């Protein structure tokens, strides 16, 4: 049978007992006749512990040294899992990102994978070994260790599956699949059996933490058969695929939220060709991701530009703008924190007009004020006060017929 890539997150390998349980699942897969490559994250909250240790030394650690520090977490996981397999009589070989041939761009903290040299992995597979690869990390052409950013182990797994032409890639986590909303916020949320790459990419980008956006992007590009399922249950999970069957009668597949959003307004910039390019190129060069963008011109010569960033990126955004004030030629910068973004996502929006209008109506009836709006063919996002995020998500989930016990009252 074919090769399967399995990824286990930090919760799945959070204790020695859980690592032994993961080993049993891997052995079962191998006994079914598959070659197995495993990607693991650092144990439990160990990455957070490492970050806290760094902060006790300095409030501004260098990006390079943070990568050197954080990659040690996965090294612990891969070694312990290899030992657990070997203790059960299964040949296993652990590899760091650089040993597995994962080459990245020269960016610390959020590098992207450029290429994977799978020669060493294939050599170990030919020997009958289970190969265990450290997720979240790689190495530059010059030999510098890098990390892929939070959730990067998902990306490692999918990229390996694509490079090795695996039969499938299984993402094991602490939930049984992809839900119509975060079940911690919406108890009525239910698991989806299938979802398209495009819908999953939107949900992941908009705050659904079950998969890393770059992992979904990679799976779509290389058509990797991808499933999300629980490490603690044998229940079938959610399949993410190119032409997923739409859930019966649903226009919207899910409601996502991000409770850590900030708004920045650049006031009185020159309203001429190239203004937007200059502003957002400056931010992009600093690796700052910008989301919702609104431009308003009240005089022919001047314009105001507002955009949203993650709350984590706000200090860096303001610093970059201040450093480039003369070049950009603006008058003032305003910022607002304490915001959230709530989004509805669904392929059914393409053929059902009025979905955005219904979303605005639902939020108005829930007394939720809207500060910014962004749309695409299959999603509508609204930036709102973070204090109203929960009521907004719950109201939309019910209104669009996603509750496990409710019928749809909004059909577009």
Residue 128, Ramachandran bin (φ over 0: left; ψ between -120 and 50: alpha; else beta): left
Q: How many alpha carbons fall within 13 Å on the CB side of residue 89? A: 2
Go through 58-78 and write b for each residue having 16 or more CB atoms within 10 A of its CB, e for each that does not. eeeeeeeebbebbbbbbbebb
* CATH code matching the domain that covers 3-174, chosen among 3.30.70.360, 2.30.110.10, 3.40.1160.10, 3.40.190.150: 3.40.1160.10
Task: Find the mean pLDDT for residues 46-62.
Answer: 94
Q: What integer is the mean pLDDT of 72-79? A: 97
Helix (H) or strand (E) holding 328: helix 325-328
Of 262, 253, 258, whose CA–CA distance to 335 is shortest?
A: 262
Q: CA–CA separation, 23 vs 324, rounded Å?
A: 52
Tokens matching residue 154: 């998902």
Q: Looking at the predicted structure, is the pLDDT value of residue 366 above 90?
A: yes
Q: What was the pLDDT predicted at 298?
A: 64
Integer-rounded Cα radius of gyration of the chain: 23
pLDDT at 229: 94
Q: Is 70 exceeded by the pLDDT of residue 364?
A: yes
Domain ranges of the chain: 3-174
Where does the pLDDT of residue 406 fall: very low under 50, low under 70, confident under 90, or very high at 90 and above? very low
Q: Is the pLDDT of residue 299 over 80?
A: no
Q: How confident is residue 99, by pLDDT bands cut at 50, 70 and 90?
A: very high
**8 φψ region: left (φ > 0), alpha (ψ -120 to 50), beta (else):** beta
Give the separation between CA 337 and CA 314, rounded to whole angstroms: 9
Percent of the chain with pLDDT over 90: 81
Q: Is 157 within 8 Å of 100 (Cβ atoms)? A: no
Q: What is the mean pLDDT of residues 348-376?
A: 92
Give the mean pLDDT of 76-94. 98
Look at residue 410 in the predicted model and tell me its pLDDT: 40
Residues found in the chain = 412
Does the pLDDT of residue 271 top 90, yes or no? no
145-177 pLDDT, tens digit each: 999 987 799 999 999 999 999 999 999 998 899
What element of type H or E holds 204? helix 197-205
Q: What is the pLDDT of residue 245?
A: 61
Residue 272 pLDDT: 85
* pTM of the model as a whole: 0.84
Bridge partner list, 404: none
Question: Is 237:253 a contact under the CB 8 Å cutoff?
Answer: no
Looking at the predicted structure, is the pLDDT value of residue 249 above 70?
Answer: no
């Amino acid at each position: 049978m074919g090769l399967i890539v399995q990824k286990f997150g930090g919760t799945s390998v959070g204790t020695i007992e859980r690592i032994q349980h993961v080993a049993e699942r891997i052995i079962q897969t191998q006994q079914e006749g598959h070659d197995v490559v495993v990607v693991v994250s650092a144990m439990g909250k160990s990455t957070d512990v490492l970050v806290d240790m760094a902060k006790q030394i300095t409030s501004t650690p260098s990006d390079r040294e943070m990568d050197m520090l954080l990659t040690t977490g996965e090294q612990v996981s891969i070694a312990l899992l290899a030992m657990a397999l070997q203790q059960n009589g299964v040949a296993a070989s652990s590899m760091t990102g650089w040993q597995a041939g994962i080459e990245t761009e020269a960016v610390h903290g959020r590098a992207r994978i450029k290429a994977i040299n799978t020669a060493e992995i294939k050599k170990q597979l030919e020997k009958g070994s289970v190969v265990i690869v450290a997720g979240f990390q790689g190495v530059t052409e010059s030999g510098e260790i890098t990390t892929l950013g939070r959730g990067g182990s998902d990306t490692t797994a999918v990229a390996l599956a694509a490079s090795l032409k695996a039969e499938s890639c299984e993402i094991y986590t602490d939930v049984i699949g992809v839900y119509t909303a975060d079940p911690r916020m919406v108890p009525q949320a239910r698991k989806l059996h299938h979802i398209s790459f495009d819908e999953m990419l939107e949900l992941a980008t908009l705050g659904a933490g079950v998969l890393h956006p770059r992992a979904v992007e990679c799976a779509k590009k290389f058509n990797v058969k991808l499933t999300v399922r629980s490490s603690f249950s044998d229940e079938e999970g959610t399949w993410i695929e190119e032409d997923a069957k739409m859930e019966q009668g649903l226009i919207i597949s899910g409601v996502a939220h991000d409770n850590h959003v900030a708004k920045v307004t650049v006031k009185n910039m020159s309203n001429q060709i190239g203004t937007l390019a200059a502003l957002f190129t400056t931010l992009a060069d600093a690796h700052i991701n910008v989301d919702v963008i609104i431009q308003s011109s009240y005089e022919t010569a001047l314009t105001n530009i507002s955009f949203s960033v993650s709350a984590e990126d706000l200090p860096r955004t303001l610093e970059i703008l201040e450093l480039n004030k003369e070049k950009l030629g603006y008058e003032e910068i305003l910022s607002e924190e304490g915001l959230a973004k709530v989004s509805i996502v669904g392929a059914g929006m393409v053929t059902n007009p009025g979905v955005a209008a219904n979303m605005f109506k639902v939020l108005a009836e829930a007394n939720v004020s809207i500060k910014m709006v962004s749309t695409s063919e299959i999603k509508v996002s609204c930036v709102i006060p973070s204090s109203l995020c929960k009521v907004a998500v719950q109201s939309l989930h019910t209104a669009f017929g996603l509750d496990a016990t409710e019928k749809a009252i909004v059909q577009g």
